[in-house]
Amino acid sequence: MLNPPGFLPYPTLGIRMSTSQDPLPQARSTLPYDPRADYQPRVGMLGSIGRSVLRWFGETFELFATLGNAVASVATPGAAARRTAHGVLLTQILFTGVHALLLVSVIGMLIGATIVIQTSLMVPGADGELLGKIIVAVVLRELAPLVTAIIVAGRSGTAIATELGNMKVNYEVLALSSLGIDLPRFIVLPRIVASVVSVVVLMVYFSVVAVLTAALLGQVLLGPSPVELRAGISRALMPHDLVLFVSKGVGLGTILGWFACHYGLLVKSSPTEVPRQASAAVVKTLLGCVAYDTALTVVFYWLAGPPLR
């Protein structure tokens, strides 16, 4: 079989060689680095600002496109695809949620003990009502969602981004795509759903561990019995707290899985890109989680009033 014009018989390299009619060698777009692809002519300050703005808009569009394609893939037909996606989902929940229980337990106990110790130092002899308000305002509304998100981002977000990056480097993503497999449904959506489920469940678990630790240690340092503390927590809770808790859990879990998948799939073909994109995934995830948590807290207290009256 004759080779196409401009190509030499090097199928294992996959590189287009130059000929007399092709003055510059052209490397495959999947190679780790092509200097001509990254070259941009020099421009002035105004051009640099415009280029940065356009790049930011492009990156933001790609980021939301990742989430949009994953959500749209829910309606993709195919019973076999659903069974396969469910298997990936259960595996991700096992890794993201179940395997993180020990770490969440330890941090929850330390957080609960720290709150009681700080309360005993600042307000000696605090009763159960005050301690209950502090636990609700600090643990249930703030630390449980945010600390859980930080734990999952540092532990599982890095792993997801690294896994998908290695799949891109090893051409596994390309192989799945060439077989006609819906990548958003098989790769992105199960990881986002697993992150949401794991974060919500771990938030509940973290809250239980922290509150129980605070109740036991508070009885020793401050004096209120568990019954008084439970009554204080019940009076401090509001119907809006359930909405806030669920909204933070679902939103933070979505951000975790979404950002980790997006930045992991940004890897092209160089192994050196994997740790860089994994680091970017964790940094951007933490920024997004803190911004989202702060926004919901501001809206909540704007509607519900100050935490301590």
pLDDT of 274-288, one tens digit each?
A: 999 999 999 999 999
What is the phi-psi region of residue 6: left when phi exceeds 0, alpha when psi lies from -120 to 50, beta otherwise? Answer: left
Work out the average pLDDT over 168-181.
87
C-alpha to C-alpha distance for 225 and 129, rounded to whole angstroms: 11
Residue spans per domain, the chain: 80-304
Most confident of 43-47, 198-202, 235-239: 198-202
Work out the average pLDDT over 120-145.
86
Better-scored residue on pLDDT, 12 or 135: 135
Nearest to 187 by CA among 264, 292, 250: 264
pLDDT of residue 278: 93
Characterize 43-71 residue by residue with b for buried, 16 or more Cβ atoms within 10 angstroms of its Cβ, and e for exposed. eeeeeeeeeeeeeeeeeeeebeebbeebe
**Residue 241, H or E segment:** helix 239-265
- Give the lowest-confidence range in 30-34, 62-66, 137-141: 30-34
Instruction: Answer yes or no: are the C-beta atoms of 254 and 157 closer than 8 Å.
Output: no
pLDDT of residue 307: 63
Work out the average pLDDT over 260-279.
90
Instruction: Answer yes or no: are the C-beta atoms of 218 and 116 closer than 8 Å.
Output: yes
